Amino acid sequence: GPCTDRIYKADLAVENILDAAASNGKPAAQSTFATMHRQPTPATVATAEQKTGALSSAQVEAITAKLDAARDADDKGDSAACEKALNEVDRMLKP
């Protein structure tokens, strides 16, 4: 799609934030889902971080929703909607 590269970069930015939160957060038990040999997505990592208290549920839901909207718009070839969603993700990721 028209903004696949930006979605990839946004995913990396989210992963970096989640990694930082994970290194500073308290450990949690490994879920059954984690043992199923699947690569985690930023959304599943964010959900796990939320459960340990590293991120609020509002942050997780907002970031996940905007990334999903960007992917949907990208799949439809709607670069304006994709860029708008990614700009909102960028805004949410800034401290």
Q: Could you report the per-residue pLDDT of 22-59, keeping only the tens digit for each?
A: 677 666 666 676 666 666 666 666 666 555 555 677 88
Burial 65-78 (b: 16+ CB within 10 A, else e): ebbebbbebbeeeb
What's the rounded Cα separation, in Å, for the pair 29 and 25?
13
**Residues 89, 60: Cα–Cα separation, whole Å:** 11
In the chain, pLDDT over 70 holds for what percent of residues?
62
Q: Give pTM, 2 decimals.
A: 0.65
Task: Tally the C-alpha atoms within 13 A of residue 39's C-alpha that lie toward its C-beta.
Answer: 3
Structure-block tokens of residue 13: 């930015």
